Amino acid sequence: MLELKFVVRTPSNKPDLTEVRYDCPCGCKPRARFKKGTNEVGHEHCCCGIVHFAGDSAETHLKSYLDERSAQGMDKEVEGYQFKTLDMDSPEGAKVAIAYAVPNISKKHEEAGHVHSQGA
């Protein structure tokens, strides 16, 4: 599956946050932020369908987020996801849990924001 290269950094103007970002193949630069030293979890759902979560129990949050969407009939067009988790170190040396899901069929970058009619 697609391997994403994440960067863990502290945003220069937000020293109390940790940011996890990557360069998405679609051209976007999605980022997830959470507050240091808390169990907050940040996420971004890219226009191409890739979702990443960063922070405590990132994997659990990622899965419940996608379960919730599929319960609402969303994301059928991507035909499922492949999941991956990893740990990285923050600039302060803290462990940062990262989880992401790559759709089996990517959405096109240009289709961002389009609302398609919902099938039954």
> Contact with Zn ion (CB under 5 A): which of 32, 48, 78, 96?
48
Q: Residue 113: which H helix or E strand, with range? A: none
Distant-in-sequence, close-in-space partners of 107: CB < 8 Å, separation ≥ 6? 47, 48, 49, 77, 78
Closest separation between CB of residue 79 and Zn ion, Å? 17
Cα–Cα distances in angstroms (integers) from residue 41 to residues 4, 6, 36, 44, 63, in the given order: 19, 16, 10, 10, 13
Stretch that binds Zn ion, among 43-51, 54-62, 76-84, 92-100 (CB under 5 A): 43-51
**Residues touching Zn ion, count (CB under 5 A):** 7
SS3 label, residue 58: helix
Q: In whole angstroms, what is the distance from residue 78 CA to residue 86 CA?
A: 23
> Contact with Zn ion (CB under 5 A): which of 4, 20, 41, 47?
47
Task: List binders of Zn ion among 10-39 (CB under 5 A).
Answer: 24, 26, 28
Stretch that binds Zn ion, among 8-16, 52-60, 78-86, 106-114 (CB under 5 A): 106-114
Is position 4 an interface residue for Zn ion (rule: CB under 5 A)? no
Q: Site residues (CB under 5 A) for Zn ion?
A: 24, 26, 28, 46-48, 109
